[in-house]
Structures are given as structure tokens and as C-alpha cells.
Amino acid sequence: MWPVGRGAALALAVTAVVATAGCGGDNSGSETDGAGPEMSAEIVQLRRDQVLERVEVSLHNRSGGPVTVDRLRIDMPGFRAMPGVPKDSPIAAGLTVNLPWTYGDVRCRPDRAPDVGPAVVHLRVHTESRPPPVDVTLPGRDPQGLLQRIADRTCLVERVNREVSLRFDDAWTLSRDQGRKVLRGTLVAHLKTDEPRDVSEVAGAVMYGLVPDESAGTAPDPLASLTPGSPDARIPVMAYAARCDGHTKGEIKKPFDFLVWVGPPGDDEPVAVTPEVGDATKLALRQVCAF
């Protein structure tokens, strides 16, 4: 199994210097010697970016005057290429501006981890003193291998989803537990590989909590053991409103991204994947938190 720590924060630091400008040649100086403006780039992935499958390109303006970014594109070897996007993003001298960039699909390999190369940031920029746009290329460094970690995580989840299917049964029962409305239902697991896998843990999304339903007794550990001889399991679960305030409803991007941890028996680092959520389950969940 490729090593990906559970709950690890993903952040990519890429520092770079200007390599080329729109006029061609080997320019590495500042705007005053005929090259493009001097800038550096850092790519980070914040919490809100993870669910949106994007990164933030943090651009620092090292030149003596304001710079406006007209276009952004990032090459990430190991990720499918994405087209450039227009921007109208001014950066004052000495300041830093974050620009979002949605990365493409990871080029996953069936037998090993994906090969990820260094990111290269391509910008089209202009300045007040030189309105004609110039192209700036920022060759990236990734000393901690953070882009590789993003790709590893993505491909590992893809592999687990090929091995085990997870979905919620459409039937839910509305009841009360400790004074709150709850839904009792079933997580259905099916093994699709010839090696055993354990379902060890479940967790809710932001708006909805999800726990094993212990109304009939203590939940087993693991929650389910899937084997080639017994590939199917039905896991009782209970869902409830976790954060049902107006702010959360307005900001939530993926309200039904529940997590289920799956791995080989005895694995200390099972992988969190998202089960399938059908329309009947979505409708039922609105009974405990409508939006």
C-alpha cells in the first residue's frame, strides 16, 4: 500500500524565479532590465480547497511596482493537463495574492504510485509602466514531495473503490435519540477483489454526523470483515444533524461526503473513501437537516 497518512494536511510549497518573458531570451532579472516583473510562487492547498480538488497559487510580487495577472496555467506532470484560465488579479509591490487553480485528474497507474514531476507556473502579466502583456514562467520546486502525496492519495482512493463498493441502503427510519431526530439505516459493503478487506470506521460529513448504530448492542470491531467467501456485509448506522446552521448551509460544497475507512485486516492506516449516496438517502437526510 502506498504510504498516505490518515488526516494528513496537504500543502505544496513551490518557490520559483522568473525564467522567461514574452520577448524571449534568457531573462532572469527584474522589470527594469527588460525582463518581466520579478515574482515568486508558492502553491498551497487549504482545507476548503481539498473538497474542491484545487490548490491556491500564492504569487508574491518582488518587483518595485504593481503587477496584474491576466492569465494563469500550471503544468503538473502526473496530472492531466488543464487549460489556462483568464484572470484580472492585481498584485501590489511586495504583496502576495492567492489564485485558485483546479488541477486535472491524476494519471493513476494500475500497479504502482503515479509519477509526479515538478510543477511549472505559467503567467501572462502586465504592469502599469509596461501595459503590453508578457509571459512569465516560474519553474517549481517541491522538496517535500507534496504534489506526489496528493496524487498518491487520489490513486489510493481510486484503487480502494475498485476493491470494495460502499453505498447506503435506500430505507431509513426516522426516530429520536437523546432528544434529537436521528435516522437509522444501513451501509452496504461488497468485496470486489480476491483479498479480504475490513470496514473499520465511519464518519459524518460537515452537516450530517454518522456513527455505527448501537441500539441493538455494541458495534463490532471491525464493523465488517469482507472475504472472498463472505463478500457482503450490512452495517447498521445512525445519521443525525451535526451542523445545521445557516452559515454552514450557505458554505457547504459537498454535504453528503461521508467517510468510510477500508483496509486489509490489521492495517494501521486504512483508507477513507466516500460511499455512494442515492437520492432516497439524500431525501431522508433532509428530515434531520433541511437545506
Amino acid at 231: P
**Angle subtended at Cα 21 by Cα 82 and Cα 30, rounded to the nearest 5 degrees:** 125
Give the span between the Cα atoms of 238 and 185, in whole angstroms: 6
Sheet holding 54-61, edge to edge: 39-44, 54-61, 96-102
Residue 249 and residue 234: Cα distance in Å, rounded? 30
pLDDT (0 to 100) of residue 146? 76
CATH 2.60.40.10 positions along the chain are: 31-154
Q: What is the CATH number of domain 169-285?
A: 2.60.40
Q: C-alpha cell of 129?
A: 509602466
Q: Measured between alpha carbons, how far is 142 from 148 in angstroms, rounded to an integer?
A: 9
pLDDT of residue 35: 63
Superfamily holding 31-154: Immunoglobulins (2.60.40.10)
Residue matched to cell numbers 485486516: 265
Pairing of strands 180-191, 164-168: antiparallel
Distance, in Å, from the CA atom of 21 to the CA atom of 273, rounded to the nearest integer, reads 43
User: pLDDT tens per residue, the chain (291 residues)?
Assistant: 444 444 433 333 333 333 333 333 333 333 333 467 899 998 778 877 877 788 888 899 999 899 999 999 999 999 999 999 999 999 999 999 999 999 889 999 877 778 888 999 999 999 988 899 999 999 777 767 778 888 998 999 999 999 999 999 999 999 998 889 999 999 999 999 999 999 999 999 889 999 999 987 889 999 999 999 999 999 999 999 998 888 777 777 788 999 999 999 988 889 999 999 999 999 999 999 887
- 3-state SS, residue 250: helix
Q: pLDDT at position 18, please?
A: 36
Please report the pLDDT score of residue 227 as a whole number.
98
- Cβ atoms < 10 Å from Cβ of 175: 11
Instruction: Say how far residue 216 (Cα) sits from the centre of its chain.
Output: 36
Strand order in the sheet with 197-203: 224-226, 197-203, 259-263, 271-273
- Establish whether the linkage from the previous residue to 132 is cis, with ω within 30° of 0: no
- Number of continuous H segments (helices) and E segments (strands) in the chain: 4, 16
| DSSP secondary structure of 172-208 | -EEEEETTEEEEEEEEEEEE-SSS-EEEEEEE--SSE
Q: pLDDT value at position 141? A: 73
